[in-house]
Structure 1
Amino acid sequence: MARLLPVIVILAAWLYAMVDCAMADRAAVRGLSKTSWFLITILPIIGTLLWFIFGRPRRTAPPTSGSTRGRRPVAPDDDPDFLRGL
């Protein structure tokens, strides 16, 4: 079983990299085109590492609109506007 663990980890990372590449936004992919990155990720170890280091889109904060800036979601029973409508 100990011999299979590295193989399972490599296969899981490879599959995750391929799905992540396929689901990534085309405009957010860094470096090469999305198609090129997908073809690179076909190489199990090298392609996976290259995708995670150089091609994967960077995570950014979600955009905020001006009206909800500084507000956080509130439960309905804590929201004064909701309670007024009851």
Structure 2
Amino acid sequence: MGRFLPVALAILLAIYTLVEVAQAPTYAVRRMPRWGWATAIILLPILGAAGWLFLGRPSSQSRRENSYTARPKAPDDDNDFLSGL
């Protein structure tokens, strides 16, 4: 059992980081494109996952820069919508 624990943890870490790569916004991923991170995680499970967690994961600032908060929150706040009425 003890021999299989590190392998199981590496597999779970790879699955976790692959799911995180798939859910990350394309514009916010750092250093490489998402497909590059996914390839690195699959080919080098521990190194690729560590690289994603420390180098590629979107920072909170990069998520805020291009987030949807710049859009109007309601139709009556949107000048384009109001001009079309």
Q: Same fold (TM over 0.5)?
A: yes
Please identify which structure carries the higher helix content.
Answer: 2
Partner of 1:3: 3
Offset from partner CA, 1:30-84 (integer Å, 9 cap, x none): 11111211111112111111111100112359787xxxxxxxxxxxxxxxxxxxx
Identity %: 36
SS in 1 for 2:59: coil
Distance 2:40 2:50 in 1: 10
One-letter code aligned to 2:18:
M
Question: Which stretches in structure 2 are left out of the alignment for 5+ residues?
Answer: 70-85
Aligned to 2:59: 58
Unmatched tracts of structure 1, length 5 or more: 65-86
Aligned residues: 65
With normalisation by structure 2, the TM-score equals: 0.64
TM-score, structure 1 length as denominator? 0.64
Taking only aligned residues, the RMSD between alpha carbons, in angstroms, comes to: 2.2
- Structure 2 match to 1:47: 48
In terms of Rg, which structure is larger? 1
Structure 1 segments of 4 or more deviating over 6 A? 61-64
In 2, Cα distance between the equivalents of 1:12 and 1:59?
A: 24
